[in-house]
Structure 1
Amino acid sequence: MIFGIITAAVHIVLGALLGQLAGGLLGLVIGAVVGLLVGAPFGWAVAAAGTYGADPKGIFRFVVDHTWSLLNTVAGAIYLAPHLIVGHQLDRVVSQGSGRVNVVEGVSPRYATTIGTVCAGSSPRIQRHEDVHILQARLLGPLYLPLVGLNYVLFTIAPVWLLWHDHVNAPINRFTRYFEIGVYPHVWNEAIAYRIQGTPPR
């Protein structure tokens, strides 16, 4: 419970600080409300799922996720909100003590998606892959999402990955496959994660 309360409080304080910087007292109030709207559901999920253990490992993960990797945690909290709004369910068993919030349903039945510490649509056959993304975010902190986004943009407009792509087993023969089979699995964070677990789409 305490982790959930602190999580919500961190989001509120962050929202208030950013709001004050942007718009003074009114901005502070608006920012705090936005932080509450994002942080309260996420804090509830963290508490309900028992995401962080009370052992040193769990506490360390919590501290990292709410300091160095806070940007990723906030992004995950924002990502979680629509899942909860449409009625998606927390996977409490899988989340317990894992350092992540697992959601049973994903955005797409074909893929699991992890943002920050929120992992949606995963399964045992791909969970280690998704955990790599959480570790990447914790290691790189505020650099993680910009670096991933930059790589997506770069590989979309300058497809150097075509030089080492497996054209025989994964041909790029229509527009949608350019992104799904080409860009996506070659972006650095996915390329690393697929080396740990899973097979890139073909």
Structure 2
Amino acid sequence: MVAGIVSAVVHVVAGATLGGLAAGPVGLLAGTVAGLVPGAVFGGAVAATGVYPRGPRGVALFLVDHTWSLPNTALGAVYLALHLAAGHTLDAPGSRHACRVSVVEGVWPRYATTLGTVCAGSNPRIQRHEDTHILQARLLGPLYLPLVAANYVLFTVLPVWWLWHDHAGAPIDRIRRYFEVGVYPHVWHEAHAYRVQGRPPR
């Protein structure tokens, strides 16, 4: 319960601070509201599912997620709010003491997607892959999202991955596969996660 309340407060304070710095009193109000809604949803999920266990590991990861990696956590909170607004379901057993918030349904039927500390549509077979993204975000903090976005843009317009791509095992014969088996599995954060667990989609 305490972790959930603190989490919500951190989101509100962060939103209010950024809003105030950007646009004075009006920004302060807007930032407070912007932080309150996803912060309350995320904090509620943390409290309801017991995401962070008691003890050094849980405390340390909570602190990382709400300081150094707060931009990632905040994006995850918005992502979680959108899932719940769409009628998706919290995976309470999968979230408990996992230091992540899990959602049963994913964005797309075939894929799990992780943003910040929120993982949607995963299962035990691929959970290590998704947890690797959470670890990447925690290690890189505010650098993580810009580095991910930059790599996607670079590999989309300049496909240097073509040089080492497995063309026989994963042929690229239409535009969709250019992104699905070309760009996507070769960007740095996905390539690393696939090295940790399993092969990319074919």
TM-score when normalising by structure 1: 0.98
Cα distance in 1 for partners of 2:161, 2:26 equals 48
Q: Letter of the 2:17 partner, please give it.
A: L
How far residue 173 of structure 1 moved from its aligned partner, in angstroms, is: 0.4
Q: 2:166 — aligned with what?
A: 166
Secondary structure of 2:198's partner?
A: coil
Gap runs ≥5 in structure 2: none
List aligned pairs for 1:1-202, cutoff 5 A. 1-202=1-202
Q: Letter of the 2:139 partner, please give it.
A: L
Q: Letter of the 1:98 partner, please give it.
A: A
Q: Provide the aligned C-alpha RMSD in A.
A: 0.7
**Runs of 4+, deviation exceeding 4 Å:** none
How far residue 29 of structure 1 moved from its aligned partner, in angstroms, is: 1.3
Cα distance in 2 for partners of 1:87, 1:43 equals 18
Cα distance in 1 for partners of 2:29, 2:145 equals 27
Deviation sequence 1:93-117 (CA, Å, 0-9, x none): 1111110000000001111000000
Cα distance in 1 for partners of 2:179, 2:199 equals 16
Secondary structure of 1:90's partner?
A: coil
Partners of 1:125 and 1:198 within 8 A in 2: no
Q: Letter of the 1:52 partner, please give it.
A: Y
% identity of equivalent residues: 68
Secondary structure of 1:195's partner?
A: helix
Cα distance in 2 for partners of 1:49, 1:174 equals 43
Secondary structure of 1:32's partner?
A: helix
How far residue 3 of structure 1 moved from its aligned partner, in angstroms, is: 0.6
Partners of 1:136 and 1:144 within 8 A in 2: yes
How far residue 148 of structure 1 moved from its aligned partner, in angstroms, is: 0.6
Cα distance in 2 for partners of 1:85, 1:183 equals 30
